Amino acid sequence: MSLCDLTARELHRRLAAGEISAAEVARACLERIDAVEPEVRAFITVTGERLLAEAERIDAARRDGEALQPLGGLPVAIKDNIVARGVATTCASRILENFVPPYDATVVERLAAAGACLAGKTNMDEFAMGSSCENSAFFPTRNPWDPKRVPGGSSGGSAAAVAAGEAVFALGSDTGGSIRQPAAFCGIVGMKPTYGRVSRYGLVAFASSLDQIGPLTRDVTDCALVLNAICGHDPRDNTSAPEPVPDFTDSLTGEVRGLRVGVPREYFGEGIDPEVKGAVGAAIDLFAELGAQVDECSLPHTEYALAAYYLIAPAEASSNLARYDGVRYGHRAAAGDFVTMYKKTRQEGFGPEVRRRIMLGTYALSAGYYDAYYKKASQARTLIRRDFEQAFERFDVLVTPTSPVTAFKLGERAADPLAMYLADVCTIPVNLAGLPAVSIPCGFQEGLPVGLQIIGRAFDERTVLRAAYAFEQHTDFHRRRPPLARAVMTSGKGLWGVVR
């Protein structure tokens, strides 16, 4: 097996033992990027020289007797709405096409402190608004399992990069499912931590009360390792929670006997593909076989989640995106006066989905409509959060499908925004409630991965990971690699030299 297809834990063990060097891992990563990027297009920017330089510094430090850091020498891909000093951060939008930030996001600082090496910035739906990675202003990303299909969104580039072996792990952001849904589509692990668990400092805001950074990895152990590095209070983020950070790997016992697992009936109704339902049902049966106490429950206000989200998120986006006016940074349209410049800048810089959501949000916040729309959506959000609180009085975790369907074809839903929005119907309630949830692969439908979502109490990522790890230890779905990656492994194709 290629170095590109090993887990972070396996690579760390080999690096620590001196069997391989960080420079070898970096070169293998860049060769894989060269080989598959023409097909996958996961990256907006590949930082090849930086990756090699960071890896060589780690090797030099090791030769001088320094211990290997927890993520030392591991290539990471970062979604292009998370800033990294000196590297273009575009949010996959023309309005920020040439923006180079002068500082690092907190998560970038923490990954560097843990020894991770930056491989590049990944493609996404523009300003994280989308569920397919087709809304990028530059190009769509393709699913490594089937290049005719989408990788999910909005963190589709990060998910595709990990699935295709272009990075050992990645970071994404999750506002309504944007880590978990692409993780499900690409057959990897993706976690949205509790709101406030990971600093948002340096994350370009979409919807500030919903956005959360999290990891995309090859297995649950890697997810726990990355969470160890990025979680923790940050005084630069007013929404960062001063909660203690445990060692998340301690929860990976493989034991779920006595764990109370709830199955919300609202997540298994109309619109869920029968084969997705079957794969998730088989996963639930496995939990029962492993000794968990499984029972059905109800989250009665789930039906209002989609509508509430598509009022709250656009309303916050309309406020957050007002800063892109052509005055201080980013794209500026040529015009004879300020008002015309402002209008043309936003018209030229924003794509159709971003403009749609800005208009929806501005309308929902406008005088005369605030109470009817935004206020009512906020009230529905409270009811959804209470549903979860009541469920967690009986259960330790809840399990659902991550997505109602597997990866759909490129262009299949592009002309139907409502159909696209429905792709996140299973993930949105978790963001509205601010809870932690992970997606893990639980089966395949016609060669495409199916995702299982495990939801936990606020700041109880440990129990979520415990359940996910136990499932993973009794299945092999996480070990399977997409055909594209397997073809590259057998051909040996790809030499570094054409990356940007």
- Pick the catalytic residue: 93, 131, 154, 403? 154
pLDDT score for 495: 36
Based on the residue annotation, tell me whether 375 is a catalytic residue of this protein.
Answer: no
Give the tens place of pLDDT for each residue, 194-208.
999 999 999 999 999
Looking at this protein, which amino acid is placed at residue 375?
A: K
Give the tens place of pLDDT for each residue, 338-387.
899 999 999 999 999 999 999 999 999 998 889 999 999 999 999 999 99
pLDDT score for 490: 59
Q: Please, are residues 166 and 40 in contact by the beta-carbon 8 Å criterion?
A: yes
pLDDT score for 499: 34
Give the tens place of pLDDT for each residue, 2-28.
899 999 999 999 999 999 999 999 999
What is the pLDDT confidence band of residue 496, given thresholds at 50, 70 and 90?
very low
pLDDT score for 134: 97
pLDDT score for 416: 87
Based on the residue annotation, tell me whether 192 is a catalytic residue of this protein.
Answer: no
- Greater confidence (484 vs 8) lies with 8
- DSSP 3-state of 77: strand
Q: Which domains does the chain have, with CATH numbers?
A: 3-303+380-491 (3.90.1300.10), 304-379 (no CATH)
Strands (E) across 5-138 are located at 43-46, 75-79, 117-122
- Pick the catalytic residue: 21, 79, 121, 131? 79
Based on the residue annotation, tell me whether 178 is a catalytic residue of this protein.
Answer: yes
Give the tens place of pLDDT for each residue, 439-467.
999 999 999 999 999 999 999 999 999 99
- Pick the catalytic residue: 178, 251, 403, 439? 178
Would residue 257 be called left, alpha or beta, if left means φ above 0 and alpha means ψ between -120 and 50 degrees?
beta
pLDDT score for 489: 59
The answer to whether the pTM exceeds 0.85 is: yes
* pLDDT beyond 60 at 494: no
Give the tens place of pLDDT for each residue, 46-98.
999 999 999 999 999 999 999 999 999 999 999 999 999 999 999 999 999 99
- Residue-averaged pLDDT of the chain: 95
DSSP class per residue in 144-192: TTBTTB---SSSHHHHHHHHTTSSSEEEEE-SSSTTHHHHHHHTSEEEE
pLDDT score for 2: 86
For helices 305-320 and 352-365, give the axis angle rounded to 10 degrees. 100
Nearest to 45 by CA among 4, 109, 89: 89
